[in-house]
Amino acid sequence: MEIPPPDLGTGRAEPGIDPAARAGYPDHPPRMGFFTDTSVCIGCKACEVACKEWNAVPEDGLLLTGMSYDNTQGLSASTWRHVAFIEQSAVTTRTRDGAPITATGAEGAADLRWLMSSDVCKHCTEAACLDVCPTGALMRTEFGTVVVQDDVCNGCGYCVSACPFGVIGRRETDGGAHKCTLCYDRIGDGLTPACAQACPTESIQFGPLDELRERANQRVAALHDAGKPEARLYGADPGDGIGGAGAFFLLLDQPEVYGLPPDPVVTTRDLPRMWRNAALAACGLAGAVVAACVTGRA
Amino acid sequence: MTGSAGRRGGEKQMVPEAEFSSYYGRPVLKETVWGPDIPSYLFLGGLAGASSGLAAGAHISGHPVLARAAKTGAAAAISLSMVALVHDLGRPARFINMLRVLKVTSPMSVGTWLLSAYTPLALAAAACAVTGRLPRGGAAATIGAAALGTGVATYTSVLLADTAVPAWHDAHRELPYVFAGSAAAAAGGLGMLAVRPDHAGQAARFAVLGAAAELTAKSLLLRRLGPAAEPYQKGRAGTMMEAGDVLTAAGLAGAVLAGRSRPSRHCPAPR
Each residue's pLDDT tens digit, B41-70: 999 999 999 999 999 999 999 999 999 999
Q: What is the average pLDDT across B184-208?
A: 95
Which chain A residue has the Cα nearest residue B179?
A281
The HSE-up count of residue B151 (CA atoms within 13 Å, CB side) is 18
Confidence (pLDDT) at B233: 93
A257: closest CA among A94, A24, A59? A94
- Chain center to CA of B270: 25
- The pLDDT of residue B265 is 44
> Distance, in angstroms, between A182 CA and closest chain B CA?
21
CB atoms within 10 A of CB B207: 32
pLDDT at position A138, please? Answer: 98
Q: What is the pLDDT of residue B101?
A: 96
Over residues B142-161, the pLDDT tens digits come to 999 999 999 999 999 999 99
Contact yes or no for B23 and A256 at CB 8 A:
yes
pLDDT in tens, B202-251: 999 999 999 999 999 999 999 999 888 999 999 999 999 999 999 999 99
What was the pLDDT predicted at A16?
A: 79
- The ranges of chain A with pLDDT < 70 are 1-15, 90-110, 295-298
The closest CB to that of B105, out of A131, A256, A297, belongs to: A131
Q: Closest-CA residue in chain A for B37?
A: A156
Say if A10 is an interface residue toward chain B (CB within 8 Å).
no
Residue A1's pLDDT is: 45
Class of domain B33-226+246-258: mainly alpha
Question: Within chain A, what is the greatest distance between any pair of CA atoms?
Answer: 89
Local confidence band at B1 (pLDDT 50, 70, 90 cut-offs): very low
The more confidently predicted of residues B13 and A196 is A196
Any bridge partners for residue A100, and if so which? Answer: A94
Residue of A nearest to B182 (CA): A285
Chain B partners of A72 at a C-beta cutoff of 8 Å? none
State the Cα–Cα distance between residues A78 and A61, nearest whole angstrom.
10
Phi and psi torsions of B205, nearest 5° = -65, -40
- Structural domain boundaries of chain A? 19-265, 266-298
- Which residues 232-261 of chain A have a CB within 8 Å of chain B? 254, 256-261
Which CATH code fits A19-265?
3.30.70.20
Note which residues in 104-163 of chain A have CB less than 8 A from chain B.
Answer: 128, 131-137, 152-158, 160-163
**CA dihedral of residues A23, A25, A26, A27 (deg, nearest 10):** -150
Give dist(CA A166, CA A76) in Å, integer. Answer: 8
Q: Can you give the pLDDT at residue A260?
A: 97
**pLDDT computed for residue A101 by the predictor:** 62
Q: What value, to the nearest 5°, has the Cα angle with vertex A173 and ends A170 and A175?
A: 40
Global confidence as pTM: 0.88
pLDDT band at B261 (very low <50, low <70, confident <90, very high): low
Output the pLDDT for position A282.
98
Residue B3 has pLDDT above 80, yes or no: no
